[in-house]
Amino acid sequence: MCWTHRSRRRTLEDVRNGDLSRTALAAFAPVVWGSTYVVTTELLPVGHPLFAGLVRALPAGLIALALTRTLPKGTWWAKAAALGVLNIGLFFPFLFVAAERLPGGVAATLGAAQPLVVALLAVGVLKESPSAWRLAWGVVGVLGVGLVVLGPAAGFDLVGVLAGLGGAATMALGVTLTKKWGRPAGASPTAFAGWQLTAGGVFLVPVTFLVEGAPPAIGVTALLGYLWLGGVGGLLAYVLWFRAITTLPVASVSMLGLLSPMVAALLGVVVLGQTLDLIQLTGFALALAAILASQRPSPLTVANRAPAAGRSRRPRRSPPSARTRTRGRTARATPHPARSW
């Protein structure tokens, strides 16, 4: 019993350590995405945000397909297309419309509502029980991001607000469906990300040329920016992101998205010489607390599981032998020589 208990404890510790490493790798994606604003404003041509999204998605998807040589099968053609459009193809235009019509802080705060949408969709789509714990921390996270990025010049435009909420809703639905459908057998995380990046990129091709026209001239500086957005912020980040969605709780992964506006604000301080006041630092603390708390189960859930776990480890008492019962209450069973250890 002692050996079994220790083995089970080590197994649980291994699972926790594995979840921690996967969470750390998943956090890499929103951290890299937080650099998009600085890269776009400092390195890329002005007035071509959709082209930047197209370059970020389509080449990365085609490279992933060439490396893995794995294509969808059966219904996964339609599923991969739907996920690619939701997570990338529709999300990018909504994101850029919100960024153009709203101050950056307002757009980032609207995007931070995505974990709340995921928590609600998880109840209807994934049939999970409602979690007041994650909803509460989702609200705290939105409040924290708002304190960090909202400034006195914040303004509201109806089209921009609808686009910001639309971006949060489409990506939240894409994340939830990615969790529901999982990753098909035989498809690596790289292939799975490649399907979605390619589908989203193909969707963006006509949208980009209809809205922005011909591509801009690309110099060395812009080329470096596009390589960063497509290689690191596209292929590598999305491989880790979609891998995390299929292996970790979807609500916990979506909360990691709050890292993106926080990193953007930090890069504004380091690269652009901006400053953070006491209110913004308080928002940082709240958002960070929400991210960390959402990675753990609710205390009520842990309390409900503890008694059951304790009962399962209680040793079972062996029933008295037939020989003991037949000799009466005062009789004692003679131990077998081979069993008297």
What's the whole-number average pLDDT of the chain? 80
Comparing CA positions, the residue from 59, 9, 113 lying closest to residue 226 is: 59
Residue with more model confidence, 228 or 276: 228
What length is written for the chain? 341
Dist CA 50 CA 137 (whole Å): 33
Q: Check residues 230 and 99 and name the one with the higher pLDDT.
A: 230
Other CB atoms within a 10 A radius of the CB of residue 109 amount to: 23
pLDDT number for residue 3 = 45
Question: For position 298, what pLDDT does the model report?
Answer: 64
Q: Residue 98: what pLDDT? A: 78
State the CB neighbour count (10 A cutoff) for residue 67: 13
Q: Count of alpha carbons within 13 Å of 232, Cβ hemisphere only?
A: 15
pLDDT digits (tens, 9 = 90+) for 49-76: 889 889 999 999 999 999 999 999 999 9
CA distance 102 to 31: 22
Using a 10 angstrom Cβ sphere, with 0-12 exposed, 13-18 middle and 19 or more buried, the burial of residue 47 is exposed
The pLDDT value given to residue 341 = 34
- Per-residue model confidence (pLDDT) at position 263: 87
Q: What would the pLDDT profile of 280-302 be if each residue is shown by its tens digit?
A: 889 889 988 998 888 877 665 55
Confidence (pLDDT) at 179:
93
- If one compares 128 and 172, the residue with the highest pLDDT of the two is 172
CA distance 246 to 196: 14
Confidence of residue 318 (pLDDT cuts 50, 70, 90): low
Residue 152 has pLDDT above 80, yes or no: no
User: In 10 A of CB 75, how many CB atoms?
Assistant: 10
The pLDDT of 312-338, averaged and rounded, is 48
pLDDT value for 330? 44
Please check whether residue 268 is in contact with residue 222, taking contact to mean a CB–CB distance below 8 angstroms: no
The pTM score is: 0.77
- The fraction of the chain above a pLDDT of 70, given in percent, is 78
